[in-house]
Homo-oligomer: A and B are copies of this chain.
Amino acid sequence: MPVAPHIKELMSSSSFIRKMFEEGIRLKAQYGDDKVYDFSIGNPDLEPPKEVKASLARIAASPKTGLHGYMPNAGYPETRAAMAAKVSQEQGVAIDFSYAIMGTGAAGAMNAALKAVLSPGDEVLVPSPFFPEYAHYARNHGGSLKPIPSKEDFSLDVPVIAAAITAKTAAIIINSPNNPSGKIYSNEDIASLAAALKAAEAKTGRQVLVIADEPYREIVYGGRKVAPIFPAIPCSVVVSSFAKNLSLPGERIGYCVVNPACPGAKELADAIIFTTRVIGYVNAPATFQRVVAECWNAPVDYSSYDRRRAALTAVLKDAGIEYNEPEGAFYLFCKVPPRKASTGPETDAEFCDQLQKHRVLGVPGTGFGRSGWFRLAYCVSEATIKNSAESFRAARAEW
């Protein structure tokens, strides 16, 4: 059997999210789609805006040649210019197209950025809870992920982050709105992180790259705004995708934009173009590069996510399950309720099993670095949410 031993180990300890997603497909085949309440994965049920379909149709009908061929590894210049314009708007700083590199989803963009800065043995800090794939992404390039617990309210615990920075720290991942907590880090948190990074650099002599992972930037509640990173932290990049805001997760289209204020920004951008190539991504998919160049600012109505947030929180209140009120994204991070006749500390995995008995799929918090919690992704139909109420009640009552 040729599989490497460390890969076997990782496979057996690996993220529950995907397992749940695939378990969901199985359960739906068994019980019918409408009898399984699948909150396992961030696969938006909103359709892409009509502009996406129209753009795809135009590409299919175009008489131009070479539409599916290689382009420079960084992407089409017009697509890079569109991403630079998008991030300029969001971050409030002028950005030339040459700082924008198209990636194979935000995951591809983040791996390219990490590979560009990690030396073997380096560490990547992340406030926890966090998206569990980050641990793989740090490991892919010879590094390791070092989770730093956030405060009770899921805001950044900057003094603890600052204390964890050493000469081995290559990067910090900031994911706001946060998956799984739904937390948006405040301007004050970002400013205080910026000051801590400056102090750390004076101490260690090393610049830490802040990677702002922002796929949920546009999905926010109550008129909130996601704090920009670029004006506060020079050594930074934004990675993002159109998976969540344009509902294109399967198309693997994302980008990395380097902060022009970063010392050696041009060299960093060139390094990320290089790593995009050598990791084997080569370039982001051609057709969807054209689609997002045309559609990146297509209007999308996210209000349905707010309605679903309200619907799901009502269901949980009714079942007697506590949760953290999300400020953005489409995840509800919930507390495992205390067990009726507890024989010891109950785990989040056990409670997710309990939910699954009632055809509800959620993901244990342990994988996100926060035991005693579980995550529900509510990018599903309102009917799914409403119909799940009885299952949540029954699962909780039996527990």
Contacts and interface: CB of A to CB of B under 8 A. Distances in A.
20 contacts: A2-B116, A2-B117, A2-B171, A3-B264, A10-B274, A14-B274, A14-B278, A48-B68, A68-B251, A71-B250, A104-B252, A104-B280, A105-B280, A108-B281, A110-B280, A140-B278, A252-B282, A252-B286, A253-B285, A279-B279
A286 B1 contact: no
Copies in the complex: 2
A252 B267 contact: no
A70 B56 contact: no
Given A10-B274, A70-B250, 13 more contacts: A3-B117, A3-B267, A4-B116, A52-B68, A53-B60, A56-B60, A56-B287, A59-B60, A67-B250, A107-B282, A111-B279, A250-B285, A252-B283
B104 A264 contact: no
Contacts of A4: 116-119, 122, 170, 271
Given A44-B69, A68-B247, A116-B4, A11 B108 contact: no
Given A43-B70, A57-B57, A65-B47, A267 B1 contact: yes
Interface string A256-293: 00000011100110110011011111111111100000
Interface in A218-252: 235, 247-252
Given A3-B117, A21-B70, A274-B7, A251 B48 contact: no
Given A21-B70, A247-B69, A274-B10, A285 B285 contact: yes
B68 A280 contact: no
A257 to B, nearest CB: 15
Nearest to A55: B60
Interface of A: 1-8, 10-11, 14, 18, 21-22, 25, 41, 43-45, 47-48, 52-53, 56-57, 59-61, 65-73, 104-105, 107-108, 110-111, 115-119, 122, 133, 136-137, 140, 142, 170-171, 207-209, 235, 247-253, 262-264, 267-268, 270-271, 274-275, 277-288
B268 A2 contact: yes
A330 to B, nearest CB: 14
Contacts of A67: 250
Given A1-B207, A2-B170, A283 B70 contact: no
A158 to B, nearest CB: 20
A117 to B, nearest CB: 5
Contact of A250 (B2, B253, B277, B286): B286
